[in-house]
Structure 1
């Protein structure tokens, strides 16, 4: 079911699907479409109100996808001087010939060594692989620091997974014992990643977004709201 809500000067159209879920769930896809799933007994007007409440986030997410698509199409040629976003810092890219593909970084520059400096696909593949590995290393390190907060409740250390995610920074599967994080966290400041990790680990104690969940999150991280705003800003 396609519905539209008006928010100030913007009209947000979204697809509503009724599913056997407990809460209203929101996703913004890479093509900028908005998808909402909701329990069968929740009135459509209530879902509309939910979308209006989340309108600022939705519009920001749509803009980010549009900007990303423009950048992917026009700017990322993987040449000297391009920007590499690494944990909230803008580093400069250097491209150099080498007999072995590798990457080095000194905190100011990211130097990409490749066998063929004119092969854009090669440069992209080497850089993206390195960024995924850096992201997983940092996220895993933060998970190890946050874990003691939930360990005392009998929670086993989860399996850490990384993948591209359209509308979430992370997701938790308490029954299966793993947590999945968005590879896009590579661009976020460490303080924001700490919030995402703490948020997901709190789900091992409270699997939904109940009042008790947020009370526990505030105990683990008193300034979580400030970090969340920074993450979504």
Structure 2
């Protein structure tokens, strides 16, 4: 692991980028709210290629740093209490916690009502909330997959299985070998059109494994505004997760 100096325009200060070489296939560049910038790269990529990549992405890095300075990121749910808020399907919802004999969570319009016999136990409330979130998000994502799957079904592709899990730098991924789509637990915060984009993106990979012209042409045919949906995810929704991430197909 080493670092490279990156010279930015004023009023931003020059920064150091942490470079880490890993057994990965792509270059991944991440800008964090505390101004830490990290780049992971495949083991065989030349230093000159990394330098060019950083130079070409400097405007994006500056835009991300400015964004974090101008906005206050909404953190992960680290505590559950009455009056707290979160975002579900692009809408802010308020949490109400009540003492009760049974553990029940219900969403009614812009409120989430949490009932628990241990309403003062943060660890128990967080576990209860996470179980509910996982169940609700998975049900929603499955419905989206069912709706969009016919787009690739006509090409003889079997409907993929779904796994929902917490991921730090990806909205989704897929495995053609195991016929599975992975979706980010936190994607449930995004507006429905953005979730549709991520699902279609992953479904498209069962036809086109690489991010090549055929892949993007397929996306454009079936979702002409996919770039705007991606922009919203990258520059609005992601602030609730506390980082920006950029993935770049790399030289083999």
User: Under a length normalisation based on structure 2, what TM-score does the superposition of the two structures give?
Assistant: 0.79
- Whether 1:215 aligns to 2:221 is no
- Whether 1:122 aligns to 2:124 is yes
Instruction: Find the aligned partners of 1:15 and 1:61 in 2 and give their Cα distance.
Output: 23
| 1:144 Cα offset (Å) | 0.9
| 1:3 Cα offset (Å) | 2.3
Change (3 A) 1:181 1:25: same
Instruction: Find the aligned partners of 1:148 and 1:108 in 2 and give their Cα distance.
Output: 32
Q: Which shows bigger deviation, 40-49 or 123-132?
A: 40-49
Q: 1:67 aligns with which of 66, 73, 98?
A: 73
State the partner residue of 1:24: 27
State the partner residue of 1:152: 154
User: Under a length normalisation based on structure 1, what TM-score does the superposition of the two structures give?
Assistant: 0.84
State the Cα deviation string for residues 168-189 of structure 1 (Å, max 9, x = none). Answer: 1001111221110110112111
- Whether 1:47 aligns to 2:53 is yes
| 1:133 Cα offset (Å) | 1.2
Instruction: Find the aligned partners of 1:61 and 1:168 in 2 and give their Cα distance.
Output: 20
RMSD, aligned CA:
2.8
Instruction: Find the aligned partners of 1:149 and 1:12 in 2 and give their Cα distance.
Output: 44
State the partner residue of 2:104: 102
Change (3 A) 1:47 1:16: farther
Higher relative contact order (CA 8 A, sep 6+): 2
- Whether 1:175 aligns to 2:177 is yes
State the Cα deviation string for residues 88-139 of structure 1 (Å, max 9, x = none). Answer: 1111111112211110111121100101121111111111211111111111
Count of equivalent residues: 227
State the partner residue of 1:93: 95
Note if contact 1:57-1:232 (Cα within 8 Å) is conserved in structure 2. no
Note if contact 2:89-2:192 (Cα within 8 Å) is conserved in structure 1. yes
Unaligned runs of 5+ in 1: none
The alignment partner of 2:177 has SS state of: coil
State the partner residue of 2:3: 2
